[in-house]
Amino acid sequence: MTAPMTTPDFEPTLALPPAPAPALRERVQAAIDSKTKPLGALGRLEALALQLALIQGSDAPRLVQPQLVVFAADHGLAAQGVSAYPAEVTPQMVLNFLAGGAAVSVLARQHGLVLTVADCGVAAEFEPHPLLVRLKVDGAERGSADASRGPAMSRTQCETAIAQGRRLVAALPGNALLLGEMGIGNTSAAALLMARLTGEPIEVCTGRGTGLDDAGLARKCAVLQRALDANAAAIASASALAPLAALASLGGLEIATMVGAVQQAAAQRRVVVVDGFITTAAVAVAAALQPAILASCVFSHRSQELGHRRWLQQLGVQPLLDLDLRLGEGSGAALAWPLLESACRILGEMASFESAGVSRSSA
């Protein structure tokens, strides 16, 4: 008999705030329409302002103490040659984040974002650092197992990672969470989750990641198909909790921790700024459990990774930017951040026709 996916002390979901009242949407939209501009002239910035208001349940949304968290972990699947880079790059990049030399470090400084690095299962031990939080999971301190041979995580390890993501966000100040990640092999984990959650062929979900050539991409697809086959029975037996079964079998520890972080952020009315393909995987798992979570998420950009465009379309969301990025780290989320600030300022500070004494269109 198959064991249940959850243990008695673990809840797969968190209670979310009630849906915003229609009256709030109507008031905010009326305020946007009354600004000194042609109707709809600020395009998607207007839709973003409305979304932020609805997330916070306020006519005057404000963004306070934004937190950018880079969730890092290693993947046993990397031993199968699914990345152009060796696994030791994960701990090396963590040190780069802590030293302030990575792209996301630069962008976080530029935009006033507080950067935290969460060690969810990196195959190294780090000296204590003010920016570093240790969230390793018992039995998976050096990362997830090789999913091409069986489950990447046990049920307990997956649930522990989710719980730790919730606790991390609950302890952070502010009302906005920007998602970043690092882990050699994690585009493979994301592609596996996309294939399982959407039913798309693995070839449609799998991209070049860190820059694989054609032969490397073909090898990656073959490895990922083996992983899907190796875990198919365990996932299928989980029925209603299949998203969590897929996460445990195919995902990474950083993705599982992000799932909990997204759940906690949505439960606290925080704005969640989603980065690229891997962070989308975490949001997709959370949304498969609770579709309303998507309302709290602003998708920062469409990455170059092959499956990302299609996955965003299937989720029914539109990203803010399309800059051909494929770096990860939270770089796209940081680049999009000023747009969220601008949307709040337009709603809160831009004059209306009445207050400015400007005549409306006669059309």
**Angle at alpha carbon of residue 291, lines to 345 and 19, rounded to 5°:** 55
Residue 13 within a domain: no
Q: Residues 285-306: what's their mean pLDDT?
A: 97
Class of residue 29 by CB neighbours under 10 A (exposed 0-12, middle 13-18, buried 19+): middle
Q: How many domains does the chain have?
A: 2
Average pLDDT over residues 326-337: 97
Q: Residue 3 above 50 pLDDT?
A: no
Structure tokens at 232: 């198919």
The reply to whether 193 and 47 lie within a common domain is no
Q: Classify residue 44: in a domain, yes or no.
A: yes
Question: What does R_g of the chain's alpha carbons equal in angstroms?
Answer: 21
Residues 147, 32 share a domain: no
- Asked whether residue 237 carries a pLDDT value surpassing 70, the answer given is yes
Q: Round to whole Å and give the CA distance between 211 and 170.
A: 36
Mean pLDDT over all residues of the chain? 95
Residue 240 has pLDDT above 80, yes or no: no
8 A C-beta contact, residue 288 and residue 197:
yes
Per-residue tokens: 111: 């935009």
Tens of pLDDT, residue by residue over 91-145, are 999 999 999 999 999 999 999 999 999 999 999 999 999 999 999 999 999 999 9
Same domain, 206 and 305: yes
Q: Are residues 139 and 41 in the same domain?
A: no
Q: Are residues 165 and 308 in the same domain?
A: yes
156 & 272 share domain? yes
Q: How far is CA 71 from CA 81, 257, 287, 307, in A?
A: 22, 7, 19, 21
Residues 203 and 314 placed together within one structural domain of the fold: yes
Q: How many CB atoms lie within 10 A of CB 239?
A: 11
Question: How many Å apart are CA 300 and CA 274, to the nearest integer?
Answer: 6
How far, in Å, CA of 9 to CA of 165, rounded? 16
For the whole model, what pTM was predicted?
0.96
CB of 260 closer than 8 Å to CB of 162: yes
Is residue 252 domain-resident? yes
Please indicate, yes or no, if residue 1 is contained in any of the structural domains: no
Is residue 318 a part of any domain in this protein? yes
Residue 176, beta-bridge partner list: 271
pLDDT higher than threshold 80 for residue 238 = no
User: Over 70: is that where the pLDDT of 297 sits?
Assistant: yes
Give the range of the structural domain holding residue 220, as residue numbers without chain letter.
67-339
Percent of the chain with pLDDT over 90: 93
Catalytic residue annotation: 329
Residue 316: Cβ within 10 Å count: 8
Are 339 and 74 in contact, with CB atoms under 8 Å apart? no
Which CATH number goes with the domain that contains 294? Answer: 3.40.50.10210
Do 304 and 189 share a domain, yes or no?
Answer: yes
CA dihedral 212, 90, 329, 158 (to 10 degrees): 100
* Same-domain status, 132 and 223: yes
**Are residue 98 and residue 138 in the same domain, yes or no?**
yes
- For 335-353, what is each residue's pLDDT tens digit? 999 999 999 999 999 999 9
pLDDT in tens, 153-177: 999 999 999 999 999 999 999 999 9
What is the C-alpha to C-alpha distance for residues 84 and 30, in angstroms, rounded to an integer? 51
